[in-house]
């Protein structure tokens, strides 16, 4: 069996693994990314694509650590999209230059003055009636509307921009085939039926799949948690781009709507927020009925043409927190010669890569393998995952 040596093996090709692959290759490391399904196929292409700068996490009027550690992500992503950032994402598509927060009724004085405060200057703007997006321009709209200057991305195009330059380093493997050779010093090799791979560090970016990898690797800490969501989609034929969170004084949006282009000139309104978090025990039919009723109540003037509803369950995979709370930042931790990581948000992928590069530096892991390690055609290359609305509606 062929043995190849590389500096870093990255397990998992969602946003975290692909961003990291690009960054480490840029730093001169030799690296291989192994993926068991389609690239971005679990959480990343099912995310709403919002590159948060933290304001959404300040809905109770307080900028938490979540809001501060994420604050410079929008400008880092924007620089990449404009082709002048740490990575070149100039081929990725922006779905919206901003997203909005709206309240059904007028917001209380506390929130209104918080949104106008110095802390949020330049991040949140009140929107005057003549500048409202179409869904909120109806005369019956009585609430407040704020614009958050944070982009919303078409995630499959981001995944493509990150994967395309490095196809040769991204390999598809079978989850059941992965075996680690373990010694007291840590992992000595990763063994596949066709190939044995020795690396200086083995890095998990496998989202929910990290839990099984931790078992294979015999690592007890860190542990993983799942936060389940029941997302709703309505596929329709109205060109009504809407990117907005409905807020009502709680710490979470009642619903978050993003709009995505679908095949055959159609569109999808993708619905998350508290609707998805609180609906996890409902059947798909109940959840779709609840969502339809909510949208009718919140935006009664909106008539989507030929709407078809569907829902699905998905877990957010994150490092374990006390009482299933939402982690505040990206997470990377060393365990022997492995690094276990979760970005916790799409937006935090750059921060996760920074953390991993720092860990490599602290452990004096320098590029050692030849940067031209070639993997012969023994393993296929994975495809990019399709958005869920292309597979769930017939």
Query: Contact positions toward ligand FAD, by CB under 6 A?
Result: 11-17, 34-37, 40-44, 46-50, 52, 175, 178, 205-207, 209, 213, 229, 231, 272, 314, 316, 342-347
Tokens of 329: 């930042």
Coil/strand/helix, residue 301: coil
Alpha-carbon distance of 85 to 159, in angstroms, equals: 16
Task: Give me the least distance between CB of 349 and ligand FAD, in Å please.
Answer: 7
Task: Give me the least distance between CB of 110 and ligand FAD, in Å please.
Answer: 26
Residue with smaller CB distance to ligand FAD, 111 or 151 = 151
Alpha-carbon distance of 336 to 244, in angstroms, equals: 43
Residue with smaller CB distance to ligand FAD, 52 or 123 = 52
Residue with smaller CB distance to ligand FAD, 57 or 267 = 57
Residue with smaller CB distance to ligand FAD, 94 or 138 = 94
Helix H or strand E encompassing 198: strand 195-204
What is the DSSP code string of 89-113?
Answer: -TTSPEEES-EEEEESSPPPHHHHH
**Helix H segments across the chain?**
15-26, 65-69, 73-81, 109-115, 155-163, 210-216, 274-278, 284-298, 349-362, 389-392
Task: Give me the least distance between CB of 126 and ligand FAD, in Å please.
Answer: 23
Task: Give me the least distance between CB of 114 and ligand FAD, in Å please.
Answer: 22
Give yes or no for a contact between 337 and 312, defined as CB atoms under 8 angstroms apart. no
Task: Give me the least distance between CB of 180 and ligand FAD, in Å please.
Answer: 11
Coil/strand/helix, residue 21: helix
Coil/strand/helix, residue 242: coil
Return the DSSP state at 256: E
Residue with smaller CB distance to ligand FAD, 15 or 66 = 15
Task: Give me the least distance between CB of 192 and ligand FAD, in Å please.
Answer: 11
Residue with smaller CB distance to ligand FAD, 51 or 105 = 51
Give yes or no for a contact between 207 and 236, defined as CB atoms under 8 angstroms apart. no
Alpha-carbon distance of 44 to 345, in angstroms, equals: 9
Helix H or strand E encompassing 314: strand 308-319
Task: Give me the least distance between CB of 38 and ligand FAD, in Å please.
Answer: 7
Task: Give me the least distance between CB of 129 and ligand FAD, in Å please.
Answer: 27
Residue with smaller CB distance to ligand FAD, 86 or 211 = 211
Task: Give me the least distance between CB of 272 and ligand FAD, in Å please.
Answer: 5
Residue with smaller CB distance to ligand FAD, 43 or 242 = 43
Alpha-carbon distance of 210 to 187, in angstroms, equals: 16
Coil/strand/helix, residue 296: helix
Residue with smaller CB distance to ligand FAD, 113 or 218 = 218
Largest Cα–Cα separation, the chain: 71
């Amino acid at each position: 069996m062929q043995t190849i040596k590389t500096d870093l093996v990255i397990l998992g090709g969602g946003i975290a693994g692909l961003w990291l692959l690009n960054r480490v290759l840029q730093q001169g490391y030799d690296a291989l990314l192994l993926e068991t399904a389609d690239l971005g196929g679990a959480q990343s292409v099912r995310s709403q694509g919002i590159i948060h700068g933290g304001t959404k996490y300040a809905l109770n009027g307080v900028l938490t650590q979540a809001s501060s550690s994420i604050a410079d992500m929008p400008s880092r992503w924007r620089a990449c999209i404009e082709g002048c950032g740490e990575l070149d994402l100039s081929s990725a598509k922006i779905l919206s230059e901003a997203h909005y927060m709206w309240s059904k009724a007028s917001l209380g004085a506390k929130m209104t003055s918080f949104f106008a405060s110095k802390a949020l200057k330049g991040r949140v703007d009140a929107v005057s009636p003549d500048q409202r997006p179409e869904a909120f321009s109806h005369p019956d709209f009585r609430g407040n509307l704020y614009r958050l200057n944070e982009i919303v991305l078409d995630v499959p195009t981001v995944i493509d921009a990150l994967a395309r330059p490095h196809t040769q380093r991204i390999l598809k493997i079978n989850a059941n085939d992965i075996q680690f050779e373990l010694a007291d010093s840590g992992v000595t090799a990763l063994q596949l039926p066709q190939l044995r791979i020795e690396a200086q560090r083995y890095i998990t970016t496998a989202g929910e799949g990290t839990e099984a990898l931790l078992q294979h690797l015999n690592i007890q800490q860190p542990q993983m948690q799942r936060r389940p969501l029941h997302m709703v989609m309505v596929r329709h034929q109205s060109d009504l781009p809407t990117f907005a969170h409905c807020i009502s004084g709680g710490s979470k949006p009642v619903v978050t709507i993003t709009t995505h282009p679908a095949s055959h000139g159609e569109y999808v309104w993708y619905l998350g927020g508290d609707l998805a978090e609180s609906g996890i025990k409902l059947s798909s039919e109940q959840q779709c009925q609840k969502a339809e009723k909510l949208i009718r109540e919140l935006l009664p003037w909106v008539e989507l043409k030929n709407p078809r509803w569907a829902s699905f369950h998905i877990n957010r995979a994150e490092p374990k927190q006390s009482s299933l709370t939402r982690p505040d930042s990206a997470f990377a931790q060393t365990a022997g010669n492995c690094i276990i990581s979760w970005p916790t948000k799409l937006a935090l992928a750059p921060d996760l890569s920074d953390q991993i590069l720092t860990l490599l530096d602290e452990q004096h892991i320098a590029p050692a393998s030849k940067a031209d390690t070639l993997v012969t055609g023994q393993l296929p290359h994975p495809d990019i995952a399709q958005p869920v609305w292309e597979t769930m509606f017939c």
